[in-house]
Amino acid sequence: MEKQDKYANIDLTKIYEYSELPDKKSGRCDNCDGVNFKNSVGKSKFLRECLNCGMKKYI
């Protein structure tokens, strides 16, 4: 139940860490289930941004 709660209240203004919020489904956005991402490197980390909803996660 605790795992589901993490994914229920996703804040699109926040950048998540993969270690804190691993992918629900590998290679898909946790918020909208999209598969199209814009990737970049920031703070020496790989940043993945969903092109559909804008959710960001450091991988």
pLDDT digits (tens, 9 = 90+) for 20-33: 999 999 999 999 99
Q: Are 39 and 30 in contact (CB under 8 A)?
A: no
Model pTM?
0.84
* Predicted confidence (pLDDT) at residue 52 exceeds the cutoff of 50: yes
Confidence of residue 5 (pLDDT cuts 50, 70, 90): confident
**Residue where the block lists tokens 């959710």:** 55
Whole-number pLDDT of residue 1: 44
Q: How many domains does the chain have?
A: 1
Whole-number pLDDT of residue 2: 55
Whole-number pLDDT of residue 17: 95
Enclosing domain of residue 38: 2-58
